[in-house]
Structure 1
Amino acid sequence: MEQLEQITDDFYASENTRAINVKPTEVGFGKYFMPSTLGHAEYEDIGARLVEAAKEQTQWVGMTYGALGKQIVSELEWIQTDNEKSREEFEKRSVEIEKSRKGILGKTYEGLKTLLGVKQPVVETEQPKSEQSEVEQPKRPYSVLSLMLFMHGENGPARLGSEIRGMADKGYLDIVEQEDQTILVPTQKLVETIYEAQRRSA
């Protein structure tokens, strides 16, 4: 494998990446996804990250495994934070719903007593006000890859490695070990496959 040229701390280029005959600007992508391009959501997630890096660097580049890892760790922290907020909100709503149910049952009980001749007014129970509009909803997009790793917990890193090896087996990535870095290098096949899929669906 040829020597890679370091562009930044996280990105590397080579003769092979410079020879890719589709420009980064010719490939579309969404944040974390490029639907119906590689036939596997996790591959499309990684592919989208490589396209985003290429657009930022104005050329096709390899990304270090460490850089990919930092992105994912940051996303996992977002998911964990939002998950905790959602759990707290769920618990709060559960209490409100329980109070609401007690209020409804109370009204029903008092109403039945009135119908049966027990002269006691129905007690109006104040219903909890909905705070739906005040609840902060997560606005961050979650990647398929990060969600998959989050769901697999301690087995997440092994799953990430499996997805990367799967892409390499299909010829979408070259995995290059250089000095103390593992670098994920996009191939002509990866870019062509994405480009052709997008062109057909346009």
Structure 2
Amino acid sequence: MYDGIVQELIDELGRLPGVGPKSAQRIAFHILQTPTFDVSRLAGLLSEVRERVKFCERCGNVSENEVCAICRDPRRDQSVICVVEDAKDVSAIERTREFRGLYHVLGGAINPMGGVGPDDLRIRELMVRVGDTAVEELILATNPNLEGEATAAYLSRMMKDMAISVTRLASGLPVGGDLEYADEVTLGRAFAGRRSA
């Protein structure tokens, strides 16, 4: 649509997850039309992130160190591990300020159609962590979709013979939602997970 390098920039931005063609075009033109936009700083940060950021050797969260700040924090409850699919899920849970335990990032979810099996995830590392430490509870916080449910069911079966409690995040109706718009699975889970008022 555009000549040369402008189209290349739009195409490259469009390869980012969640950025469609229109968003990519909008970002590209923002960069082009904003004289105060520091392109060299953005380029430097992108290079620096690739060089400095790695994954925590214990939990798999993103970190600039071998062990992330959460795993290094002595105030965290060492007896509870929350299992999530991706590092961005750690951030989402941390924003709630409700969980004070440790995390384990799987690096995805079981997805046979996408060619992702249990051996492609950090399940082996989780089993080692659970076996080597005084973990009492494993919270399965995978996404409430087909792949997340399959992963949670698989992990639940794997932990069956271990002497730890395996729990799953509650799911159901969102705050501010209307019952008439809830699907059957969500509404069913809301009924199953009901609690005393």
Give the TM-score normalised by structure 2. Answer: 0.22
- Highest RCO, 1 vs 2 (Cα 8 Å, sep ≥ 6): 1
> Whose radius of gyration is greater, 1 or 2?
1
Give the TM-score normalised by structure 1. Answer: 0.22
